[in-house]
Structure 1
Amino acid sequence: MIEDKIRSVLEKLDIVPTDLELYRVAFTHQSYANEHHVQSNERLEYLGDAILDFLVAEYLYNKFPNLPEGHLTRLRAKYVCANANSRYAIQIGLDQCLLLGRGEAEQGGKSKPSLLGDLLEAFLGAVYLDSGIDAVRKILNSIVFPQISEGSNFFIDYKSHLQEYIQAESRLGVEYVLIKETGPAHDKTFTVSVYHDHLKLGTGVGKSKKEAE
């Protein structure tokens, strides 16, 4: 039963839920929601994304009092991105509870970094609503903050690297342009191109705009 799996994850994180249904929603991907006519986790993902950004920003602000704003922003982007978030999600077993529609499951949805990253954000949104921001901070203290403290370098922020390279040579920045999006609402594919001074530098494809960029 999915409820038993959810309880197991929460127990390992020392969370005593007051609203288990809230967590079930957090694990419900849009593809599953469409097939079963239930609520998806997209609203919780929106909330969790903001909370994750805030708490990591707060941690960096306090830990590195002498770093300028630009450096802090790049650090946050390094440890809060689709690849990083997907690893955090797997680390605490969120992937084992994910509810996917048949098509998404057959396409290996449980191993897609963008999907798992969104799942982490939705889960954190649920934790915030159910147990408060300190409970979210406690989770990050076990899976995210140690990576920052140890200076782990396995999350590569290619966008920041490109931006730094361009700015070293030019005053103009880079611009990401959505070229097209294809597929059904629950399984879209995005194509994004990056430009500098009207010159196309490259094109990326991903299951989210962020992943494509």
Structure 2
Amino acid sequence: MPSPGSSSSAALNRRNFLTAAALGGAAIVGASALGAFDADAAFAAPTKPLDPAVSESAFAEGLVTGRDGNLLTVSGSDGATHRVQLTSATSVWKLHPTDADAVEIGDGMYGRGVSMPDGTIAADAVWVNIVNLVGDVTSLGRDRLDLLHAGHTVVGRIARGSTVARVGDRAPSTDLSVLRLGQQVQLLGAWRPADDSVDVARISMAG
């Protein structure tokens, strides 16, 4: 019989896992002079800035712990504290392209930009709560799927007409009838800190 604290422990473990997924494991690059803005750019290999006047891009990752206007305080997973300045030119991704107002305290983020003399990073691109997971589909419904990844069950929230599936090299489609129980898929989406589920942007699978 589960102990009284087992359900809360499981929830905490799942939250820690999703926090790590939203924060770690991939370098950010980016198309401004520094690189691309789409969600896949957050998981690409670093590249040199396209603008010769910029010696190198600066990056920040972590949890947003403070906000003063458009200046974010970010606590990095390595213990470092970053200050990230958002501007009207900053590209923000949070499940889909959005604006700086969508960034909230408690969000996980990657930011790419240019270091200023005072150490602040002027961001040209920010990806918020982005997760990229591979796992097996264990449950499938109209508006959700459960994914088993590294021993953790991840609840994916499906938005009909918005969530897309991509089979092999085919173009993404909103037709999700290709999904099957037991299928291994790659899920790209945005973590919801409030309930530890993931809003699904794209589900990819082998052709």
Scaled by the length of structure 1, what TM-score is found? 0.25
Name the structure with the higher strand share: 2
Name the structure with the higher helix share: 1
Scaled by the length of structure 2, what TM-score is found? 0.26
Greater relative CO (CA pairs within 8 A, separation 6+): 1
